[in-house]
Structure 1
Amino acid sequence: MPSAFAQDALLDDARARLSRRDAAGAYALLADAETRRAGDARFDYLLGVAALDAGHVTRAIFALERVVQVRPEDTLARAELGRAYLAAGDADAAREQLRMARGGLLPEEASAAISRVIGLIDQVAPAAGPQWSGYLEIGAAYDSNVNSATQQGEFAIPAFGGILFQTSPENRQRHDLVLATAGGVNAETALSPSWKLVGAANVRANVDRVVHDMNAVFVDVTAGLRHTAGTQSRVIALQNNTAWVGGRRYRTANGASAQWQSQFSAGAQVSVFAQWSRQNYSGQAERDTDRLLLGMGAARQFGGAGPLSYGSAYVVQERARATAFPSFGHRGAGLRLGAEQRLGPGVVTFAEWQYEQRRYGGTEPFFDLARRDRQNDLAAGLRWSVEPRWQVIAQARRALAASNVVLYDYSRSVFQITAHRSFQ
């Protein structure tokens, strides 16, 4: 029986041949040892890659299947097994293995490459029946301002001759511990090689330890069509967003959205998007608005270990439907910039900044001026992939809202840790 040193030398020789693109030589070398080495995941992986590149697809599948049986977390082996199934003409099996590989610990550019291959498979051989994915989250947070309220205890109202008014304690900044939960599902089914029916539903709930009147539930539902042609995709969808605060329905928004996206290269992506919605506030018809948002975005992956950066810019208009209350409508513009950097296996750090300015219509009641707001939102944190379907996210967020109307001037800090489980 060969010694351990000889066995390692065999694998080293096979790797060297593969690096020289001598797949046939590597396969011939490893195939002779298969009867005594089968079951060794390192050996089977190299044998599978060499067999596949040398054109022995069935042998490659057998070898790579042995790897994922003993090492189900091996994303590289799953990616190669997906490639082998694709070469064998089994699109469904290839799609399944590639999706599992994409959910594991891979460099960003490898994950993006796998997504593109899956997209091509979906165009050539759409999956039979509906496909779905989902997630569940649970987390805990400290929120320094759960009601996004001013810290001012008193302020002057010009309409009443500058008389000082006291704000009640419940209308001032309040802090609390928060239990945050969320869940969602995405589904799609192919109508043709290039058209898909898509849908999504998400539910998010925040439960405060003390300030129960700020407990909130948010439900988002989307249904639409996606068209894919080469590296470009287009989506048009109907949307419903409903929010409950303090156990009562607060706002409902119904509308439509559209997006065009193009993958210009392996690491560069751009998009253009639009959204229109009709917002209705329960019991406060004077606040009802029609909202239109237009924007564009871009993302870029810099090299194998470089950062992923992204950004978007947009303009927004909310038109008050009640002509007697123009101050509830506004025009605004915003900018969002962010970056992610992989620190090590399964650990990613991220940071994001968003800025928005708003100019409201009409005159703010009691203050004899048109409201102007500027808001900065900052976020930073770490995302740790414990295993392919589990992540732990720790983050800090800071919001600074500056307004010429003291009631809307506030700051807020949130520190949160979340466990995320994905399903597919």
Structure 2
Amino acid sequence: MRTQSGLQRARHLVLMPLLGLVPWSLSFADDLLNQAESFVQQGNPLQAFQLLDAQESTRAGDPAFDEAMGRAAFAAHQYTRAVMAWERLVATQPDNAVAQLELARSLHAVGDRKGVLALSEQARARAIPVDAALSIDQFLVSYDRMGHEGRSTWKGHIDVTLARDTNVNAGPDLNAPALSPPGTPPWTLQPGAQAQRASYAALLGNVRGRHVLDSRWSLIGAATAEVRGHSTAGKPYDSDQLDVTAGVAYRVERHEWMLSAQCATYRLDGDTLRNIGGVLGEWIYRIDGFRQWDTFLQVQGLHYPTQGLRDARRTVGGTSYIHVLRNGSLFYAGLYAGHETPRATGVESLGHDLAGLRGGVQWAISTQWAAFTHLNYERRHYGAADPFFGVARRDRQTQWVLGVSWLPAPGWRITPQWALTRNDSTLPITDYDRRIFSVTVRREF
């Protein structure tokens, strides 16, 4: 009995200090999370992330820690780590609506569209206002980004458009001859050469995607086909076209370089008007899932089967920046410059230098509605005086677009818009105004 009493006394002496450590460790854990939250509220999310990062290997799986880690990582723009933290929390608490919402936001930040779509409809609606209508790809069309787990991805859509065009042939108005430069020989417009009004219907299909080879290399490709038919006055301008692009992409952290081969054909009224072949190089710097720079250089050969004198080489380079705000609104801006050089000699008047600016804004009105506007400006200086008018052609073209996006159901988008184009040219036959009102119904997949 004396021996047993001695053992109990020894166990008591050993366990008491250990039991005393339990509230101390819990207090330390609470202090750690409180300190991290304090850093986030003070505007130092990176410090909070670093504080929690040192403990993640031992604390991962603790709901309180994972929640704090997810918030700190997202605020510090460490979106992949935020995804991992929120996924752990959702796995242990599948009914946690807050965790689902934050996971949706984090998946959206890394561009994992399919991961977002796998979540509940309520989480998607709250995390991404106007959902797909506010994706970066709507404005800077690019290949779908791989998910945070490095999965291959693809996307596509089908568009049906009905429109009314006030100048389907981009022709001058009836008063153009009165605007002739001094000394111009007498001339008249051929019948039908002036601006022609017409309605049209168009069907467009697009598919693009990426096949991931490893963590850095991917194969990328895209194809777009469109058929357009006009009402009676515009029948000569019925057209169809096909564009195909295929290449490779190499990604290191936030940088991605892509090199693609391009080919396209454009048919007008049943005859091939133009064929294009070339290469496109792009450098995309993704600051995060909400901001990116896209810099490109494109070299193309233009071939006109029935008008060989117009064959040319076109080189254009530029850069664009886009920023998606946390409420779903976005804005973008870009500039570009280049030149088009005729392959034939003695036709310098067909070649030109070009430079342009573009920008736009889209406002999130609600989870289903958004309004947008774009403004593009381009100036073109041609290489020699026009042989007929005796003056060098100078164009200043402005295009303004105003419209709304409506998402009546997941995967559907309806877009009515006005597009106004003004080409201010020194040649009367290339000086024109154009207005198009259109309604496009898109089905995304």
Q: Shorter chain as normaliser: what TM range?
A: 0.7 to 0.9
2:115 partner amino acid: Q
Corresponding position of 2:115? 97
The counterpart of 1:171, out of the listed 193, 207, 218, is: 193
2:303 partner amino acid: N
The counterpart of 2:287, out of the listed 240, 246, 264, is: 264
1:382 partner amino acid: V
Asked if 1:136 corresponds to 2:149, the answer is no
SS at match of 1:244: strand
TM-score, normalising length: structure 1: 0.74
Contact conserved, 1:154 with 1:166, CA < 8 A, in 2? no
TM-score, normalising length: structure 2: 0.71
Change (3 A) 1:231 1:102: farther
SS at match of 1:97: helix
Change (3 A) 1:340 1:154: closer
The counterpart of 1:390, out of the listed 407, 412, 417, is: 412
SS at match of 1:362: strand
Corresponding position of 1:373? 395
Corresponding position of 1:337? 359
Q: Which runs of 5+ in 2 are unaligned?
A: 1-36, 39-61, 68-84, 138-143
Corresponding position of 2:216? 194
1:141 partner amino acid: A
Count how many residue pairs are aligned between Structure 1 and Structure 2.
Answer: 354
Contact conserved, 1:156 with 1:165, CA < 8 A, in 2? no
Deviation at 1:253, TM superposition (A): 0.9
Deviation at 1:205, TM superposition (A): 2.1
Deviation at 1:23, TM superposition (A): 5.0
Deviation at 1:365, TM superposition (A): 1.8
Identity %: 25
Distance (whole Å) between structure 2 residues aligned to residue 225 and residue 291 of structure 1: 22
Contact conserved, 1:78 with 1:98, CA < 8 A, in 2? no
Asked if 1:218 corresponds to 2:236, the answer is no
1:107 partner amino acid: I
Corresponding position of 1:358? 380
The counterpart of 2:150, out of the listed 113, 119, 126, is: 126
Asked if 1:313 corresponds to 2:331, the answer is no
Distance (whole Å) between structure 2 residues aligned to residue 167 and residue 273 of structure 1: 40
SS at match of 1:293: strand
Contact conserved, 1:76 with 1:101, CA < 8 A, in 2? no
Contact conserved, 1:157 with 1:366, CA < 8 A, in 2? no
Contact conserved, 1:154 with 1:164, CA < 8 A, in 2? no
Deviation at 1:305, TM superposition (A): 3.0
Deviation at 1:189, TM superposition (A): 1.0
Contact conserved, 2:145 with 2:153, CA < 8 A, in 1? no
Deviation at 1:102, TM superposition (A): 11
Corresponding position of 1:287? 310
Corresponding position of 2:174? 152
Deviation at 1:410, TM superposition (A): 0.2
Contact conserved, 1:256 with 1:276, CA < 8 A, in 2? yes
1:239 partner amino acid: Q
Query: Could you give the per-residue CA deviations for residues 257-276 of structure 1, whole angstroms, max 9, x where no partner exists?
Result: 11111122554322211100
More strand by share: 1
Query: Could you give the per-residue CA deviations for residues 266-300 of structure 1, whole angstroms, max 9, x where no partner exists?
Result: 54322211100000112100001100001111112
Distance (whole Å) between structure 2 residues aligned to residue 212 and residue 114 of structure 1: 35
Q: Which runs of 5+ in 1 are unaligned?
A: 1-18, 28-51, 68-74, 85-93
Instruction: Note the 1:318-329 alignment, pairs <5 A.
Output: 318-329=340-351
Distance (whole Å) between structure 2 residues aligned to residue 384 and residue 173 of structure 1: 32
SS at match of 1:165: coil
Distance (whole Å) between structure 1 residues aligned to residue 187 and residue 136 of structure 2: 61
Corresponding position of 1:35? none
Asked if 1:232 corresponds to 2:250, the answer is no
State which drifts further: 407-416 or 163-172.
163-172
1:355 partner amino acid: Y
Deviation at 1:155, TM superposition (A): 2.3
SS at match of 1:207: strand
Distance (whole Å) between structure 2 residues aligned to residue 317 and residue 114 of structure 1: 28
Distance (whole Å) between structure 2 residues aligned to residue 188 and residue 271 of structure 1: 18
